[in-house]
Amino acid sequence: MRIFRDLEQAKSILLRRVHLAALEVSPSVAQRVKEVFGEGLSPDEAVERIIHDVQTEGDSALFRYSKSIDGVELTQLEVSKDDVAEAYRTVDGQLLDALKFAAERVRSFHLAQRQDSWFDFEEGLGTRVRPLERVGIYVPGGTACYPSTVLMTAIPAKVAGVTEVVLTTPPSRFIGTIPAPTLVAADIAKVDRIFKLGGAQAIAALAWATDSGMSMGPWAQPHAKIPGRVVSRGCEVPVWKNPNLLTSMPSISDRLSTLSLGAQAVAKITISKSCSLTFLSRVSS
């Protein structure tokens, strides 16, 4: 944790751009890659291998990588309605109220900023806004729980008019279940289908059809980009380090500010393993 008290110095660090290909792989990560794939691969090569295997082998590759990478031996990928109902029974009442309150706040915000179609027939001008039929959302997980990410990605999609929202998130390591708050948040946000799958294999499954039916559909020609790019069909989004600038008032203690930045740092480390993605709408003029 580094604390900057000089604004210009903070800006120079936070606005710095380092491509993922330029990052060095630690010895422990390199060893783990060798254990999973049987040979030493760069991060780009490892992701390429995963994407290729999911594209050619389908669900069998998803089950295999869940076991070898996440340490979870799954028998099914999709979360059932019974699992969601059980999550409601285990979530604390105060947390449930907080999730519902947060969901309404997120929904109100995005309703206020939603773009609608408009036409001026006399001038011959206009914009037609059409929501996508189906979108995929990746929510970090495995070692932590991020119900707020669920709300802040799924709800904007629903507000935009998306018909079907598919969510995928890593299950808890060695247990194979998704934390109850994540499932409850997904239900509150009206997510249509939930899959317990993480990593590059989850993003690849959203891009290509497998037996589980996670694919976003044939609305564009498939292609893939490795670290630094979101894997999707027809859309590519550069993924960079997301800088956070924390401004603090004198009444806020350094400890509270540090905790806030620390929470964001943990989230960024988790997200950097893959990506969090929501497509809201296509706009045509």
CATH number, residue 155: 3.40.50.1980
Does 172 reside within a domain? yes
Domains held by the chain: number: 1
90 or 12: which leads in pLDDT: 90
Residue 62 pLDDT exceeds 50 = yes
Does 7 reside within a domain? no
Q: How are strands ordered across the β-sheet holding 193-196?
A: 134-138, 164-169, 193-196
Residue 252 pLDDT exceeds 70 = no
* Location of structure tokens 């340490």: 71
Does 84 reside within a domain? yes
Q: Are strands 164-169 and 134-138 parallel, antiparallel or unpaired?
A: parallel
Does 4 reside within a domain? no
> Which residue range is the domain that position 124 belongs to?
18-284
HEC states along the chain?
CCCCCCHHHHHHHHCCCCCHHHCCCCHHHHHHHHHHHCCCCCHHHHHHHHHHHHHHHCHHHHHHHHHHCCCCCCCCCECCHHHHHHHHHHCCHHHHHHHHHHHHHHHHHHHHHCCCCEEECCCCEEEEEEECCEEEEECCCCCCCCHHHHHHHHHHHHHHCCCEEEEEECCCCCCCCCCHHHHHHHHHCCCCEEEECCHHHHHHHHHCCCCCCCCCCCCCCEECCCCCECCEECCCCECCCCCCCCCCCCCCCHHHHHHHHHHHHHHHHHHCCCCCCCCCEEEEC
Does 13 reside within a domain? no
Distance CA 186, CA 91 (A): 13
pLDDT tens-place string over residues 200-245: 899 888 887 677 666 554 433 333 343 344 444 444 444 334 444 5
Q: Evaluate if pTM is beyond 0.85.
A: no
| Angle CA 95–100–102, to nearest 5 | 90
Does 34 reside within a domain? yes
pLDDT tens-place string over residues 163-172: 999 999 999 8
Does 3 reside within a domain? no
Query: What is the reported pLDDT for 275?
Result: 32
Does 5 reside within a domain? no
Q: What is the mean pLDDT of the chain?
A: 78
